[in-house]
Structure 1
Amino acid sequence: MRALTEDELRAAFVNAGPDDLRLVAVPADFLFADWDHLDFYAWRDPRTRSRGYVVAEVEGQLAGVVLRAADGSSRARSAMCNLCHTMQPANQVTLFTARKAGDAGAHGDSIGTYICADLSCHENVRLAAPLAPSEIRASVDRRIDGTRQRTEAFVARVLETAA
């Protein structure tokens, strides 16, 4: 991923209104991000834990998505993140929803998926050892590519009605 400035990061959000953009809290380590080793940039809002953000390049264009974490907890014992395909204890995977871009989002349409609660998918796929006892790991390169593709596809689904 190419290096971003804070202004570029804020301008990338496709499903955020002016009020949402004022609330975006850029993480403290933003200036130290190793952009050469990032496939996408994701973080939880340090001020409002129910918010998260994902920024990815979709078809060569930068696109950011504001996420909302669901309240409550799962009764399951384990769960799988739909982006990095990592099995984790259920309390470490959260349902995140994103309002769609454009008119559909203005009318309340949204999409959701289960994602690592701390949005650490980028790091999780780079671990060589499985996180769960029954988890079978593919090669790290394949996991990285798959995670990037699934993240871009999720962001593209938010964008679908904006075109």
Structure 2
Amino acid sequence: MGNDQEQLLANRYRLSRVLGQGGMGAVWQAHDEHLGRDVAVKELRLPEHLGESERQNWIARFDREARAAARLKHPGIITVHDRISVPDGRPWIVMELVHGGSLADLVEAHGPLPPPSGLPSRGGGCALRSTPRTATASPTGTSSPPTSSSKRTASS
């Protein structure tokens, strides 16, 4: 979509800026004009060379991602609010917006991270234990630095 900035999706979500991009699309910051809150909106960008069958496969994969993410409930997981389609048929996922840096930002600033405690070392047989949240998933699919606060606290 050429110039998406300021575009209104589903008569509700106004795009403002790109937060990140990946192999299948981009994540935008948007404003939900019905509820008066900022959200993250994930856009599926389909390569132009795809045939109709491949296009439908990509859309089905994106829909599975939206449904799977929407079923998850945990303080360290971003909440999925909605799944919409634009006139050309492409789906978008509307999610909670969480401010913070990416895992790449953290590694660049502090170097490689040590392995989390409680994990088996070199083939040990212990099972993984449930640990307190150590990172927050961001809308771009990366992780942000550990925080002692809840995921809903913005850390610019």
Query: How high is the TM-score relative to the length of structure 1?
Result: 0.30
- Would you tell me which structure has more helix in proportion to its own residues? 1
TM-score of the superposition, structure 2-length normalised? 0.31
Q: 1 or 2 for the larger relative contact order (CA 8 Å, sep ≥6)?
A: 1
